[in-house]
Amino acid sequence: MIKQIVFLLVLLLTLAVFSYSAWRIFRLMRLLKPFPIKEFGKRFREMMVVAMFQSRIFRRPIVGLMHALVFWGFLVILFGSIEMIIDGLFGTERILSALGPVYTVLIFTGDVFALIVLIAIKAFLGRRIFMHIPRFYGVEMKPISKLDANLALTLILLLMVSLLGMNIFYDLMSQRTAASCFPVSHFIAGFIPVLETGTIHFWHELFWWTHIVLIFIFANYLPYSKHFHVFMSVPNVFLSRLEPLGYLSHMPNIEKEVRMMMNPETAFAAAPEGEAAPERFGVKDIEDVSWKTYFDSLACTECGRCTSVCPANMTGKKLSPRKIIMDVRARMKEKSNGLLKHGKTYDDQRALLREFISEEELWACTTCNACARECPVSINHPSIIVDMRRFLVMEEAAAPAALNSMFSYIENNGAPWQYPAEDREIWMNNMN
């Protein structure tokens, strides 16, 4: 009974902290621009192909397979974690064993995956600590980012060690009759000398509590870590843009302004008195983005696949698509307290544009969409870049000189060239 009370208190504390983090994120999203969601069938198919079957990850076969095995392993091991919570609350032991063969298959698979995930995570840690993988570096990858990645991987490593330890001593407690459920743990248990029943029970309880507490700690650490993609990646793929990668989103407020210029009498006659000023064109600061863009920043794995295929970055330009998304998250973190307290009108005299993302970075983008095609969680990097360019052009007329000249030519000549239509054939006069 004491174990159940202690477990309940720990569980309630975990849920309270996690709920606070989730509610805070939800409140911030409510302050941002809407993002329409439709065509649920297409979204579900996209989620299954990209998220569940890890299609984009397999573009790098070896590392992709390792990551996919870790992901699938977590899905299987989640079943055992749910069972532990039920056992902890009601004082039962392996309560879901009533499922019979289904239970045996899931627990068998989970024990095998625990070893696979353990090996894969050790390899991932080794790559990060001892190997200089170019995409793990960049101006945006501060020391805290590397520490965060290593800490999250270490927590996963400890989770697998504690899970195997719990299974090993459960196998010993059941006098090795659980061999059919725990193939890996049963094999390891064979190397452990004969122990007293009390000692075996003690070690089983120690690993049980270690594993469940690590799960609770990990769950509440994730919202403040790059590994939040453990929760966010699957829904982010479900919510991803369904339009072709090169498609530029429509701007209804621009259409409205154009219609007013083309037919001002009709537009003003239909406009109600005291109508609010038009919204800002494009994106200057974090409150101008859609909630989906912020969701993207939370789902970002910081893997660097986007930056590694960016042609602008390859040629030495400042642009890093990963940095753009990380900057969105960093700016929201910086401004979140003020936004939650004062609403969208809060101004701290800073902005996402220039303080975080420079004009040079924005204009280096070729909108080739290589980054969006490569992203394993379906983030569309060019959309935020184009929106910030729109602000520069439409609100500040701050486009590069070559673009400003082109805009002038279009306005004056109806084409992007400096010659009017009647003079375009002059170049042929001196030809034979």
218 and 257 part of one domain: no
> Which amino acid does the sequence have at 171?
D
What are the backbone dihedrals phi and psi of residue 290, each rounded to the nearest 5 degrees, phi first?
-80, 160
146 and 65 part of one domain: yes
Task: Output the pLDDT for position 3.
Answer: 87
From the CB of residue 300, how many other CB atoms can be counted at a distance below 10 Å?
26
Say if 424 falls within a structural domain.
Answer: no
Tokens 């059941």 belong to residue: 174
216 and 362 part of one domain: no
Q: Are 70 and 63 in contact (CB under 8 A)?
A: no
From the CB of residue 402, how many other CB atoms can be counted at a distance below 10 Å?
8
Retrieve residue 166's tokens. Answer: 């719990």
Q: Considering only CA atoms, which of 32, 66, 115, 44 is closest in space to residue 283?
A: 32
What are the backbone dihedrals phi and psi of residue 33, each rounded to the nearest 5 degrees, phi first?
-70, 155
Say if 305 falls within a structural domain.
Answer: yes
| Dist. CA 376–CA 305, nearest whole Å | 8
| Dist. CA 280–CA 216, nearest whole Å | 42
Say if 114 falls within a structural domain.
Answer: yes
| Dist. CA 173–CA 154, nearest whole Å | 28
251-286: buried (b, 16+ CB within 10 Å) or exposed (e) per residue? beeeeeeeebeeeeeeeeeeeeeeeeeeeebbbbbb
Task: Output the pLDDT for position 432.
Answer: 65
215 and 263 part of one domain: no
Task: Output the pLDDT for position 402.
Answer: 86
Task: Output the pLDDT for position 278.
Answer: 58
Say if 246 falls within a structural domain.
Answer: no
Task: Output the pLDDT for position 251.
Answer: 79
Torsion of CA 319, 221, 219, 125, to 10 degrees: 70
Task: Output the pLDDT for position 87.
Answer: 93
> Which amino acid does the sequence have at 33?
K
81 and 219 part of one domain: yes
Task: Output the pLDDT for position 308.
Answer: 95
Retrieve residue 375's tokens. Answer: 């992203």
Q: Range of 298's domain?
A: 252-268+279-413
Query: For the chain, first and last CA: distance in Å?
Result: 102
Q: How far is CA 118 from the centre of its chain?
A: 23
76 and 8 part of one domain: yes
Retrieve residue 227's tokens. Answer: 């590994």
Residues paired with residue 353 on neighbouring β-strands, in sequence order: 357
Say if 426 falls within a structural domain.
Answer: no
> Which amino acid does the sequence have at 74?
F
| Dist. CA 192–CA 179, nearest whole Å | 15
109 and 215 part of one domain: yes
Tokens 């400003």 belong to residue: 404
Say if 51 falls within a structural domain.
Answer: yes
170 and 257 part of one domain: no
How many domains are contained in the chain? 2
From the CB of residue 343, how many other CB atoms can be counted at a distance below 10 Å?
10
Say if 232 falls within a structural domain.
Answer: no
Task: Output the pLDDT for position 148.
Answer: 94
257 and 222 part of one domain: no
Q: Considering only CA atoms, which of 152, 140, 134 is closest in space to residue 330?
A: 140
Averages of pLDDT over each 10 residues, the chain, 432 residues: 91 96 96 93 95 92 94 95 94 90 93 97 94 90 92 96 95 70 90 89 95 96 92 95 88 77 65 58 94 96 95 95 97 96 93 96 96 95 95 90 87 83 77 71
Cα three-residue angle 219-223-226, rounded to 5 degrees: 105
Say if 31 falls within a structural domain.
Answer: yes
Q: Considering only CA atoms, which of 100, 211, 90, 222 is closest in space to residue 158?
A: 211
Q: Are 307 and 138 in contact (CB under 8 A)?
A: yes
Cα three-residue angle 223-227-230, rounded to 5 degrees: 90
Cα three-residue angle 337-375-70, rounded to 5 degrees: 90
CA atoms within 13 A on the CB side of 386: 15
| Dist. CA 183–CA 102, nearest whole Å | 16
| Dist. CA 294–CA 99, nearest whole Å | 41
Which CATH number do you get for residue 400? Answer: 1.10.1060.10
370 and 332 part of one domain: yes
218 and 315 part of one domain: no
